[in-house]
Amino acid sequence: MTQSKIPVDLILSKLAEEAEKVQSRASKASEVLLEDLDTAIAQTPYEVVYQEDRVKLKHYLPRTKSRYKTPLLVTYALINRETMLDLQPGRSVVERFLDSGIDLYMIDWGYPTRKDRFLGFDDHINGYMDNIVDFIRERHKIEKINLMGICMGGTFSVIYSALYPEKIKNLITTVTPTNFDTKKGLLHVWMENIDVDRVVDTFGNLPADMMNLGFLLLNPARLMIDKYVGFMEHNDNKQFVENFVRMEKWIFDSPDLPGEVFRQFIKDCYQGNKLLKNQLEIGGQLVNLKKLTMPLLNIYGKFDHLVPPEACDQLVKHVGSKDTEDICLDTGHIGIYVSSKYQKEFAPKIAGWLKERDQIPRKRAPRKKTTTDKTAAGANKPRRTKKANT
């Protein structure tokens, strides 16, 4: 009698073992889920120092003595909320910046309603952003501030810095799409065929739920199945559940996107790639990237499926600045900000980079270009290489 190739007995005993584990886990999970869970996000204290319409300017209360002469303004995207930078105590980019002694401001774009449907790039950049920058400059009696942009907020920051280079001392772009002529990211592929006029004319603003569904469809196997399977496997762990719910809160706390911003983002950026071509026009002014003469730090994720490296890594080649640095981290679009591992690298890197350039008045920028080796091996270890001026 030959032995069966399929270890039926082993499989059955494992199944029985797993069924027992699931039962025990389910019992513990019900206790955890009924407990008083701490799932609050954005807990770092701040005050609203400026407000215009729905847009607010948050100023975080310092946790230590300020070690920088120039304050930092963070501009988040109009998609999702800036609370991602402050998910929970101990896992917060905001906290890390404050602990480094950075005087931190952050724009809260609020929740656009139907009346905001006509607000486009011009209103957000020449309007709200410029007013906020002027407010901070006046408040601190300084000529220039540091600006950091995230995702679409990074695109806004690039445009703003090109239009008002006299007001920006250092520019940091993180996961910022500037090159839209790539087939690497699914968003880039999909957006080419979208009839944006029809969508905006019908819906006014782009509904957040529609946007979220689109993001989930970028990877349904992981985002709609595997993620929740993972939750079911660990829902007896209180800390895991709390972290998971915090993330869920952030992901689905999505404001609608003002219609005209969406129209311009798709037509001029995704379909026209006008920013890199210096053809983008905002409020009657042409955006010329050569006017970006301030130091530029450009950080992006190697496994970012929303804004792939190809969408980010062209910027430094097109700006007028001689002091630029590209950093490609071995992580995704959100991992840069929320993963404990990359938070340890990301925030101190920015703080250190700003510290090096915090002299007032800034003299001539070093005539060098610094880039980071973007190979898989060296991706998360920024390495400076001097390049000849071009």
| Residue 218 DSSP label | T
Question: Distance between CA 244 and CA 358 in Å, rounded?
Answer: 38
Say which residues have a Cβ less than 8 Å from residue 236's Cβ, sequence separation at least 6: 25, 26, 28, 29, 31, 32
Residue 118 or 252: the one with the smaller Cβ distance to other proteins is 118
Residue 19 or 360: the one with the smaller Cβ distance to other proteins is 19
Phi, psi (rounded to 5 degrees) for 18: -65, -40
Instruction: Work out whether 377 is an interface residue with other proteins (CB under 8 A).
Output: no
Instruction: Work out whether 141 is an interface residue with other proteins (CB under 8 A).
Output: no
* H or E stretch covering 194: none
Instruction: Work out whether 20 is an interface residue with other proteins (CB under 8 A).
Output: no
Instruction: Work out whether 232 is an interface residue with other proteins (CB under 8 A).
Output: no
Helix (H, G, I), strand (E, B) or coil at 274: coil
Q: Which stretch binds other proteins (CB under 8 A): 34-42, 118-126, 234-242, 363-371?
A: 118-126
- Under 8 Å between Cβ of 295 and 171: yes
Question: Distance between CA 94 and CA 84 in Å, rounded?
Answer: 10
Residues 317-346 that bind other proteins (CB under 8 A): none
Instruction: Work out whether 14 is an interface residue with other proteins (CB under 8 A).
Output: yes
Instruction: Work out whether 216 is an interface residue with other proteins (CB under 8 A).
Output: no
Phi, psi (rounded to 5 degrees) for 150: -120, 125
Phi, psi (rounded to 5 degrees) for 331: -150, -175
| Residue 29 DSSP label | H
Instruction: Work out whether 195 is an interface residue with other proteins (CB under 8 A).
Output: yes
Phi-psi sector, 119: left (phi>0), alpha (psi -120 to 50), beta: beta
Asked about 312 being catalytic, the answer comes back as no
Q: Which stretch binds other proteins (CB under 8 A): 98-106, 192-200, 266-274, 364-372?
A: 192-200
Question: Distance between CA 254 and CA 252 in Å, rounded?
Answer: 5
Instruction: Find the binder of other proteins among 2, 36, 141, 202 (CB under 8 A).
Output: 202
Instruction: Work out whether 211 is an interface residue with other proteins (CB under 8 A).
Output: no
- Please state the separation of Cα 142 from the chain's center in Å: 27
Tokens of 390: 């071009």
Instruction: Work out whether 26 is an interface residue with other proteins (CB under 8 A).
Output: no
Residue 114 or 341: the one with the smaller Cβ distance to other proteins is 114
Give the end-to-end CA distance of the chain in Å, rounded to a whole number: 78
Tokens of 27: 């019992």
Residues 54-113 that bind other proteins (CB under 8 A): none
Question: Distance between CA 340 and CA 378 in Å, rounded?
Answer: 19
Q: Number of residues in contact with other proteins, rule: CB under 8 A?
A: 38
Tell me, residue by residue from 167 to 186, as one string, x for binding to other proteins by CB under 8 A and - for no binding: ----------------x--x
Instruction: Find the binder of other proteins among 20, 31, 226, 356 (CB under 8 A).
Output: 226
Instruction: Find the binder of other proteins among 204, 255, 308, 335 (CB under 8 A).
Output: 204
Instruction: Find the binder of other proteins among 62, 101, 127, 272 (CB under 8 A).
Output: 127
Catalytic residues: 151
- Which residues of this protein are in contact with other proteins, per CB under 8 A? 5-7, 10-11, 14-15, 18, 114-115, 117-119, 123, 127, 183, 186, 189-190, 192-195, 198-199, 201-204, 217-222, 225-226, 229
